Amino acid sequence: MNILQPVGSRSYILPVAMLAIMLCNCGSPHNVSDKTMDNFIIKTSSRKIKERFTRAKEIADSVARIVIAPEKLGNFYCTYHFEYYDEQRYSNDSIIRPPLNYHISYVLLYEGDSIGSSVITVDSTFKVTYCRLDEMIGQKYFLNDKLEITKTKALSISSAKGIDVNSTHAPAVAEFRSNAGDSYNRNTQTLRNLKTLIYLLDIEKRRFYWDIENHCDGCTELKVDAETGEVFDKNKITFIY
Evaluate if residue 8 carries a pLDDT over 80: no
Highest mean pLDDT among 47-56, 122-131, 185-194: 47-56
Evaluate if residue 216 carries a pLDDT over 50: yes
Helix ranges (DSSP H) in 144-193: 151-159
pLDDT for the residue 187: 63
pLDDT tens track for 12-67: 333 333 333 344 444 444 578 889 989 899 999 999 999 999 999 999 999 999 89
* Average pLDDT rounded to a whole number, residues 2-17: 35
* Average pLDDT rounded to a whole number, residues 155-163: 96
Q: Is the pTM of this model over 0.75?
A: yes
* Mean pLDDT, the chain, whole residue set: 84
CB 99, CB 82: distance < 8 Å? yes
* Average pLDDT rounded to a whole number, residues 167-194: 78
Cα 56 to Cα 201: distance, rounded to the nearest angstrom: 25
Give 64's contacts (C-beta < 8 A, 6+ positions apart). Answer: 36, 73, 76, 106, 118, 120, 136
CA dist list (Å): 181 to 18, 122, 165, 169, 178: 37, 19, 28, 31, 7
Highest mean pLDDT among 11-25, 82-96, 127-141: 82-96
Q: Is 213 helix (H, G, I), strand (E, B) or coil?
A: strand
Helix ranges (DSSP H) in 101-160: 133-143, 151-159
Evaluate if residue 3 carries a pLDDT over 90: no
At position 41, the amino acid (one-letter code) is I
CB 54, CB 46: distance < 8 Å? no
| Chain center to CA of 54 | 19
pLDDT tens track for 228-240: 999 999 999 888 8
Domain parsing of the chain, residue ranges: 16-147+181-203
* Average pLDDT rounded to a whole number, residues 104-115: 96
pLDDT for the residue 197: 74
pLDDT for the residue 30: 53
